[in-house]
Amino acid sequence: MKKVLMSIIIILLVIKVGGNLESSNSIYAKNIDLEERPNNISNLKYVALTFDDGPGDYTKDIIDILNKYDYSATFFMVGSKLNENYRDSLEYVVENNSEIGVHGYSHKFFTNLSKEKLEIEINNTRVLIEDLSGVYPRLVRPPYGSINNKIRNYGYGPYILWDIDTLDWKYKNSQKIENKVLENIGPGSIILMHEIHKTTVDSLDSILNELKEMNYEVVSVSKLAKYYNIELEDNKSYRNFK
């Protein structure tokens, strides 16, 4: 009788453990890209860092700071600034696993443009970036966050907005930039910065150090979307992936 009881308990235990394994596996398969997402994700949180208005004199410096923490970011570049002088910078971004996106050709309000002019703003810049970096960029950041349903429906996106605006262009103060990030940060956030201001570059090391302490991983927008299982669509805009 005792033996039978023990056998039943063992069988029940096996079923219980098996059941747990199966359910945890299915959660794992659902949320994680097994090839690209790190294994030790249990206490890691992800955010995307974005830099607008480049390329510029600080692009490479920003990559060097990101590398210190093994982080990456997305650089939304302005077509009219793209020329041979920045070929090295663009290659440096790509080589170091960061991402390049499109910020229009002449930094105009998208909502003021006709469909034809918008296509030129976006797709000509894509071609220029491909010429200089070898990578055809997909993501689009509308200057000033200027977007409406008409622009979305043209389908030249995905259009990437933000939920943390550091206002770095306005304050030009490293401490204020840091406070804006740390007070508003949450998993799935997209942070907006501008790579052309020295005070922004100067704020970066301290911010990334704090985020590391808080167990955040800082990645490009495309990686963030992938990690949160979001399939980006060309006719949609995104403020975050929460």
* Residues designated as active site: 52, 194
Least Å distance, CB 209 to Zn ion, is 26
Task: Please state the separation of Cα 59 from the chain's center in Å.
Answer: 16
Nearer of residues 52 and 217 to Zn ion, judged by Cβ: 52
Contact track, Zn ion, 112-151, x by CB under 5 A: -------------------------------x--------
- Residues binding Zn ion: number (CB under 5 A): 3
Using alpha carbons only, what angle is made at residue 58 by residues 52 and 62, rounded to the nearest 5 degrees? Answer: 80
Nearer of residues 52 and 121 to Zn ion, judged by Cβ: 52
Quick one: 181 exposed, middle or buried, by C-beta within 10 A (0-12, 13-18, 19+)? buried
**Cα-flanking dihedrals φ and ψ of residue 99, to 5°?**
-120, 145
- Binding Zn ion (rule: CB under 5 A), the pick from 47, 48, 53, 55 is 53
Least Å distance, CB 164 to Zn ion, is 16
Which pairs from 202-205 meet CB under 8 Å and 24+ separation? 202/174, 203/168, 203/174, 203/175, 203/177, 203/178, 204/62, 204/65, 205/65, 205/68
Least Å distance, CB 143 to Zn ion, is 5
- Binding Zn ion (rule: CB under 5 A), the pick from 52, 121, 195, 217 is 52
Q: Which residues bind Zn ion (CB under 5 A)?
A: 52-53, 143
